[in-house]
Amino acid sequence: MRFEVLVGNIVKQLDVEAVVNSANANLRLGSGVAGAIHTAAGPRLEEFCKPFAPLELGSALITPGFDLPNKWVIHVRSAHYINNAEPERYMSFAILSALRVAQQNSIKSIALPAIGTGMFKFPALLASRITARALHLFSGNSSPIELVRICVPSEEMRAQYQSALELETGLIDEQQIST
């Protein structure tokens, strides 16, 4: 499994099979990543999600990508850093759940946002460490996943995620992308 970290828009990752949505409980158009993914996927995504709401903390759900260039959207629900008990635990569960869903669906490449760092108020450094730890735990599994790309909004955050991955796993792609 190869890891990349880049400054970029999650809905512009044309070369990955699935994008991960940092979803709200109701799996609806929201702000941040959920808003960008739902807007790019079109109204059929929200309609498709309705019967699956509410999404439990730490859980994942796979749906078609509809109007996205990606075949799949994997929706995960992380905890709110301030408002939920054990937020670190649920963020880890959410990332591992997304990876398991990708594995179960034979997905070879996924793009993750900086889960929890927007509306859910996770400090970026903590989120990067939780993400790196979860990826390291999962990377020992036999999995069809070949590429996990983490898309972040700033160069500062890219450096934090890259450093966390290097410290935790040593499994960072040497040719980092920054767009």
- Tell me: the pLDDT tens digits for 21-57? 999 999 999 888 999 999 999 999 999 999 999 999 9
* CATH number for the segment(s) 2-168: 3.40.220.10
CA trace torsion 107, 75, 122, 157 (10° rounding) = 40
Rounded Cα–Cα distance for residues 79 and 62 (Å):
19
Q: What is the pLDDT of residue 30?
A: 81
Q: What is the pLDDT of residue 31?
A: 82
Structural domain spans, the chain: 2-168
Stated pTM of the model: 0.92
172 φ, ψ (degrees, to nearest 5): -100, 140
**Residue 79 confidence class, pLDDT cut points 50, 70, 90:** confident
Type and span of the H or E element at 26:
none
The rounded mean pLDDT for the chain is 92
Q: What is the pLDDT of residue 175?
A: 42
The pLDDT of 7-12, averaged and rounded, is 97
Please name the residue that has the structure tokens 């629900």.
Answer: 77
Q: What percent of the chain has pLDDT over 90?
A: 83
Task: Answer yes or no: is pLDDT of 174 > 80.
Answer: no
Q: What is the pLDDT of residue 170?
A: 60
The pLDDT of 91-98, averaged and rounded, is 96
> What count of Cα atoms within 13 Å lies in the side-chain half-sphere of residue 129?
6
Q: Give per-residue pLDDT as tens, 104-153.
A: 999 999 999 999 998 888 999 999 999 999 999 998 778 899 999 999 99
